[in-house]
Amino acid sequence: MSKLFFDHLLQLKDVDKHIKKIAKTAEEREELWGLIDEIVHHKVMGCILDNLPRQHHEEFLEMFHTSPHDEELLFTYLRRKVGENIEGLIKQEIGGLAAELLGEIKS
């Protein structure tokens, strides 16, 4: 089982379409997916930490470390500390990243 609490916000299907066009084998495709995953995780975490006041960082990181999959627990916490729009902010970050990645892939 592998699930992250923000998985439901990830919508990079156009990026995936391009990867599928370029990768010829499943191994190549999965390697490229892994690289995108690494970028996504850092971007999403950066977005959260940018908006979460510094004094709550450690508490959030402990919760994330213990239950990285727990959507309900982590988003309830973030809504309380950041605000109701946290999911919107992450979506916005993902949207920007998608455009950035598509630019990289196509250039």
Partner 1 sequence: MSHDLPTTTYKINIERVDTEFLRNKLKLKSLEVKKNFTQRYPHVEKFFTDRGIDLGKIRDHSAKVIATGALTGTLLFAPPMGVKNLPQLTQAIKDVSDGQTNSPNIPFQELLLKNLHAILPQKIGPLDRSTEKSLEQVFQQIIGINARAGLEGEHLNTTYGYIGAEQHLMRYPGDTMATHPKLPEKDEGMAPGRGAWGYVPKENETWYAVVQTLYLPDWNTRQPYLRDWYKYRKVLIVNTINGNAVIANIADAGPAAFTGKQFGGSPEVMNYLGGPRYKKGPVIIFFVDDPDNKVPLGPVEYNEVNMPGVALTQV
List contacts with partner 1 (CB under 8 A). Answer: 1-4, 7-13, 15-16, 19-26, 28-33, 35-43, 45-46, 49, 57-58, 61, 65-69, 71-72, 101, 104-105
Taking the complex as a whole, the smallest distance from the CB of residue 87 to partner 1 amounts, in Å, to 13
Give Cβ neighbours of residue 68 (< 8 Å, ≥ 6 apart): 3, 4, 5
Q: Is 72 or 84 the residue whose CB approaches partner 1 more closely?
A: 72
Taking the complex as a whole, the smallest distance from the CB of residue 90 to partner 1 amounts, in Å, to 13
Q: How far are the Cα atoms of 30, 32, 67, 82, 107 from residue 22, in angstroms, in the given order?
A: 12, 10, 35, 39, 13
Query: Among residues 22, 35, 79, which one has the least CA distance to residue 56?
Result: 79
DSSP one-letter code for 43: H
Taking the complex as a whole, the smallest distance from the CB of residue 1 to partner 1 amounts, in Å, to 4
